[in-house]
Amino acid sequence: MTEEYRHLLVKREGDTVTVTMNRPDRRNALSADHLTELLAAFRAAGDTDATGIVLAAAGPVFSAGHDFADVAARDLLGVRELLTLCQEVMTTLESVPQVVIARVHGLA
């Protein structure tokens, strides 16, 4: 769990891995790059012996949802690819062997 991320902070403490979304300037909006990192982080955490994973967020907002600047910059095929990536992240969250908890605050 030593991988560096641009949009995430990942830290293991004891049996828990905390994945913190770290795009407070964009209200932790989910761009393709952000989703790709979330997917990698949850897969990596899922491959450990940790018993729990916490999804958290930096800043005053947990997540504003999809990053509309990223969505608007795509054609129809690109939007479908983005939504497929999002679905893959959600499926991974459901399928890791650990308990996953979202520490939600502010808007979500």
pLDDT tens, position by position, 38-65: 999 999 999 999 999 999 999 999 999 9
pLDDT digits (tens, 9 = 90+) for 64-74: 999 999 999 99
Residue ranges of domains in the chain: 8-102
Exposed/middle/buried for residue 43 (C-beta within 10 Å: 0-12, 13-18, 19+): middle
Structure tokens at 89: 């992240």
Structure tokens at 51: 């018993």
- For residue 1, pLDDT over 70 is answered with no
* Residue 73: DSSP 8-state: T
Class (C level, CATH) for 8-102: alpha beta
Task: Return mean pLDDT, the chain.
Answer: 96
Residue 77 Cα distances to 30, 82, 83, angstroms: 18, 9, 10
CA distance 62 to 80: 24
Q: Which spans in the chain are helix H?
A: 32-46, 68-72, 76-95
Phi first, then psi, for residue 4 (nearest 5°) are -90, 140
The pTM is what? 0.94
